[in-house]
Amino acid sequence: MTILGLNYAPEPTGIAPYTTGMAHFLADAGHDVHVVTGLPHYPHWKVADGYRGGSQEMDGNVRVTRVSHPVPAVPTGKARIAMEAAFAARACRAVGTAPDVLLAVSPALLTVGAALRWKSSRTAVGVISQDLYSRAIAETGAMGGRGAKSAESLERNLFRRADGVVAIHESFRRSLVRLGVDERRVTTIRNWTHLKGASGDPQALRRELGWRDDEIIALHAGNMGAKQGLENVINAARAAEQLGLPVRFVLLGTGNQRATLEHLGRGISTLQFIDPLPSDKFERAMAAADVLVLNEKPGVEEMCVPSKLTSYFASGRPVVAATSPKSAATSEVQVSGGGVCVPPGDERELLEAVLRLGADQEEGLALGFRGQLFARDALAEDAARSSYLGWVDHLAERVVGPRIPAPRRAAFRRVARTAPISNDVLADGVR
């Protein structure tokens, strides 16, 4: 089995932890797993020291091949497409012998095209859709109307040719069906909470970061890109300063918009930028905050399910989500009971929600506890492991016939309740 995915460990955030985890699920279950991936570069947009294209390594039981590709210092739409195209072309050549199952992680969307070149009577192709590429272009306005339509057409044509597609949220499943993908080929498998829980003293880290006891810390942790629309957080911090309110907005991480945001927020006393932290301190920082902020650009609705929510919920801190009512993010916060939602792009509403939750410790603890329960029950790693094993076994049946041990057949039947598959399809294979 081969997995094509641009992002993989040691990248700490974004898609990489889920591609890495999936590879380990499959390898630990006895599959011969070969991952073809790129050079670690996210979220810094700089190749990590010690990595080069053409290298081979072992990650536990997973064989990893890294291929070279450009990494733009300023990841504009065109620059990212050039990077993804170079990766897809080189990854396709690095597959080697035709595998029984070839999985492609999207984005990068062009990787799906590379995987489909191997589709045959001997190789089944599955796609894991972590973001909806065409919706991202449309909702962020990255390439204009014509570019969005072209991306939608490409995404439709590629996904419809795959033998199976994983959607990471039920809203993604509906979007893929509207895109034109046969609903019998789409299986919902949720991302999981991959953090192990904060260790150490959050209060000590709070002091180390300069956070005072008499101020409310509203932390946004993660990527600072176009879809986050973090100008709204800058404006909320400015309003807090003007009103003399005891709030500090903290932007932790990096991304292609960080320099712009730092320029916009220069001189605001209620705003702090922090470089990415090691995983142990990252988890402690979330536990040390009073409120965790999720912010999305107005108009972002279908393109993604923010991966930071799995970490936010696990932290036990209340979430304030400035997101569209139609977005998967709003759905997650409402279903979990782990926070409150306010309109995107409204800094006053964001500030008021942060003040209210930060001041009401009892409500904050209750919301945080509900989020933790949701992470434990709905975002469990064991559920994702079982689902991926069943899905891959079903893909393998198309090319090698039934050979799945009974316990794993039962696991897949549980998954299939989310994405019903007819007996005819199971018998004949998905074309």
Please report, as a single letter, which amino acid is at residue 50: G
Six token digits for residue 183 = 């609903």
User: Is residue 182 assigned to a domain?
Assistant: yes
Answer for the pair 273, 286: CB distance below 8 angstroms, yes or no: no
Backbone angles phi, psi at 317, to 5 degrees: -105, 150
CA atoms of 309 and 292, how far apart (whole Å):
10
Q: What share of the chain is helix, strand, coil (3-state, %, to 5)?
A: 45, 15, 40
CA atoms of 378 and 244, how far apart (whole Å):
40
396 in the same domain as 353:
no
Answer for the pair 293, 233: CB distance below 8 angstroms, yes or no: yes
CATH number of the domain encompassing residue 173: 3.40.50.2000
Cβ neighbours of residue 350 closer than 8 Å, sequence gap 6 or more: 232, 233, 236, 293, 295, 320, 322, 342
Question: What's the number of domains the chain is made of?
Answer: 2
219 in the same domain as 154:
no
Answer for the pair 395, 164: CB distance below 8 angstroms, yes or no: yes
pLDDT given at position 109: 86
CA atoms of 60 and 295, how far apart (whole Å):
36
265 in the same domain as 181:
no
215 in the same domain as 185:
no
Share of the chain above pLDDT 90, in %: 65
pLDDT digits (tens, 9 = 90+) for 87-146: 999 999 999 999 999 999 998 889 999 999 999 989 999 999 998 766 666 666 655 567
pLDDT digits (tens, 9 = 90+) for 302-327: 667 788 898 999 999 999 999 999 88
289 in the same domain as 174:
no
320 in the same domain as 249:
yes
247 in the same domain as 182:
no
Task: Look at residues 361, 378, 395 and tell me which one is the last residue of a structural domain.
Answer: 378
384 in the same domain as 374:
no
Q: Span 288-299, mean pLDDT? A: 94
Domain residue limits at 225: 202-378
Answer for the pair 68, 54: CB distance below 8 angstroms, yes or no: yes
CA atoms of 342 and 404, how far apart (whole Å):
47
| 98 secondary structure, DSSP code | P
pLDDT digits (tens, 9 = 90+) for 154-166: 888 999 999 999 9
The whole-chain average pLDDT of the chain stands at 87
Answer for the pair 73, 49: CB distance below 8 angstroms, yes or no: no
pTM for this structure? 0.83
Six token digits for residue 384 = 């994702």
